[in-house]
Amino acid sequence: MKLLEAQNITMQFGGLKAVDQLSFHIQQGELMGLIGPNGAGKTTVFNMLTGVYRPTLGEVVFDGKTITGLKPYQISRLGVTRTFQNIRLFKDLSVLQNVLVASNQHLSYGMAAPVLKTKGFLSQEKEAQEKALQLLSIFGLEKKAQDEASSLPYGEQRKLEIIRALATEPKLICLDEPAAGMNHQETHHLMETIAKIRKDFKLTVLLIEHDMKLVMGICERIVVLDHGCKIEEGTPRQVQSSAKVIEAYLGTDAELQGGSV
Amino acid sequence: MKPLLVFAGLWLCGFAVDFSFDAFIQLILIYIMINMMLAMSLNLVNGYTGQFSLGHAGFMAVGAYTSGFLSTMLPPMAGGLQIFSYFFYAISGGLAAALAGWLVGLPSLRLKGDYLAIVTLGFGEIIRVILLNTQAVGGARGMYGILGPTDWDLGGFVVSKFVIGYTHALFWVVLCFLTIWRLIRSSHGRAFLSVREDEVAAEAMGVNTTQAKVRAFVLSSFFAGVAGSIFAHYANYLNPGSFAFMRSIDAVIMVVLGGMGSLSGSLLAAVFITVLPEALRPLKDLTGVDLRMVIYSLSLILLMILRPKGLFGSNEITDFIRRKSSAQKVKA
Amino acid sequence: MEDFVQHIINGVSLGSIYALIALGYTMVYGILQLINFAHSDVYMMGAFASYYTAMFLGRDNQPGVGTLVILLVASMVACSLLGLVIERFCYRPLRKAPKLNILITAIGVSLFLEYFAQVVFGADPKVFPSVLNDTVLAEMNGVQLKSSDVTVLAVTVIMMLILNFVIYKTMLGKAMRATSTNMSVASLMGVNTDKIIAFTFIVGSSLAGVGSVLVGMKYPKIDPLMGMLIGLKAFVAAVLGGIGNIAGAVLGGLLMGVSEEMVVGYLSSTYRDAFAFGILIVILIFRPSGLLGKNSVEKV
The answer to whether residue B324 scores a pLDDT higher than 90 is no
Contacts of C112 in chain B (CB under 8 A): 294, 297-298, 301
Q: For the residues B4-11, what does the mean pLDDT come to? A: 84
pLDDT bin (cut points 50, 70, 90) of residue B134 is confident
Mean pLDDT throughout B178-191? Answer: 94
Contact C277 B304 (CB under 8 A): no
How many Å apart are CA B154 and CA B157, to the nearest integer? Answer: 5
Shortest CA distance to C31 belongs to which of C163, C250, C193? C193
**Cβ-defined contact of A97 to B183 (cutoff 8 Å):** no
Write out the H or E segment, with its range, that includes residue C48: helix C39-57
Residue B288: pLDDT over 70: no
Which of the four pLDDT bands, split at 50, 70 and 90, describes residue C299? low
Q: What mean pLDDT comes out for the span A249-255?
A: 65
- Mean pLDDT over C45-50 rounds to 94
Positive or negative: CA dihedral B44, B50, B51, B54: positive
Q: How far apart are CA C182 and CA C115, in angstroms?
A: 36
pLDDT at B332: 41
CB-CB contact of A120 with A100 (8 Å): no
Strand ranges of the sheet holding A221-226, from the earlier edge strand across to the other edge: A80-82, A172-176, A204-208, A31-35, A221-226, A229-234
What is residue B330's predicted lDDT score, i.e. its pLDDT? 45
CA A241 to chain centre: 26
How does residue C97 score in pLDDT terms, banded at 50, 70 and 90? confident
Cα C95 to Cα C74: distance, rounded to the nearest angstrom: 30
- B112 burial level (CB within 10 Å; 0-12, 13-18, 19+): middle
Residue partners of A41: CB distance under 8 A and separation at least 6: A11, A18, A19, A22, A225, A227, A228
* β pairing state of A204-208 and A31-35: parallel
Q: How far apart are the first and last CA of chain B?
A: 33
Buried b vs exposed e over C249-266: b needs ≥16 C-beta within 10 Å? bbbbbbbbbbbbbbbbbe
pLDDT-derived band at C182 (thresholds 50, 70, 90) equals: confident
pLDDT above 60 (res B328) = no
| Residue of higher predicted confidence among A248 and C22 | C22
pLDDT score for A252: 64
Q: Is C147 on the interface with B (CB under 8 A)?
A: no
Q: Rounded CA gap, A251 and A233, in Å?
A: 19
Nearest chain A residue to B203, by CA = A73
Q: Which residues neighbour B123 within 8 Å (Cβ) at sequence distance 6 or greater? A: B55, B58, B104, B108, C281
What percent of chain B is modeled with pLDDT above 70? 95
Q: Where residue B326 falls among pLDDT bands split at 50, 70, 90?
A: low
Residue type, C94: L
Chain B 212-271, residues with CB within 8 Å of chain A CB atoms: 215, 219
CA distance C236 to chain B (A): 10
Asked if the model's pLDDT at residue A253 lies above 70, the reply is no
Output the pLDDT for position B96: 97
DSSP string spanning A41-98?
SHHHHHHHHTTSS--SEEEEEETTEE-TT--HHHHHHHTEEE--SS----TTSBHHHH
- Check whether C56 has a pLDDT greater than 80: yes
Quick one: pLDDT at residue B277?
A: 82
For residue C297, give the nearest of A13, A43, A84 by CB distance.
Answer: A13
**pLDDT confidence bin for C58, thresholds 50/70/90:** confident
**B293 contacts in C (CB within 8 Å)?**
111, 115
| Chains touching chain A, criterion 3+ CB pairs below 8 Å | B, C
Which residue, among C109, C53, C122, C55, has the nearest Cα to C82 in the 3D structure? C109
Q: Which residues on chain C are in Cβ contact (under 8 Å) with B253?
A: 104
pLDDT at A261 > cutoff 50? no
Percent of chain A with pLDDT over 70: 96
**Helix pair angle (C2-32, C246-262), 10° resolution:** 150
What is the Cα–Cα distance from A108 to A88, expressed in whole angstroms?
26
| Residue C62: alpha-carbon gap to chain centroid | 26
CB C114 within 8 A of CB C106: no
Helices (H), A167-227: 184-200, 212-218
Q: Would the CB atoms of B191 and A115 count as touching at under 8 Å?
A: no
Residue C295 pLDDT: 62
Higher pLDDT residue, A173 or B108?
A: A173
Query: pLDDT tens-digit profile of C183-227?
Result: 888 888 888 889 999 999 999 999 999 999 999 988 889 999 999
Beta strand residue intervals within chain B, DSSP E: 152-153, 158-159
